[in-house]
Structure 1
Amino acid sequence: MTLRMSEVSKGDLLPELNVPVTRADLVRYAGASGDFNPIHWNERFATEVGLPDVIAHGMLTMALAGRLVTEWTGDPGAIANYSVRFTRPVVVPDDGEGALVELSGKVAAKNDDGTVKVSITARSAGQGVLGGASAVVRLAQD
Structure 2
Amino acid sequence: MTTATSKSKVLRGSAAVSAIAVLAALAVAFLISGSSGLAGAAIGSIATVVVLAAGSWTMFSIAAKSPTMSLPAAVGIFTLSGMVLFVVLLVVSKTGGDAVVRPAAFSVMALTVAWTTTFAFLVRRERIPLFDLPGADS
Structure ranking higher in strand proportion: 1
Larger relative contact order (CA 8 Å, sep ≥ 6): 2
Q: TM-score, normalised by structure 2?
A: 0.28
Q: TM-score, normalised by structure 1?
A: 0.28
Structure ranking higher in helix proportion: 2
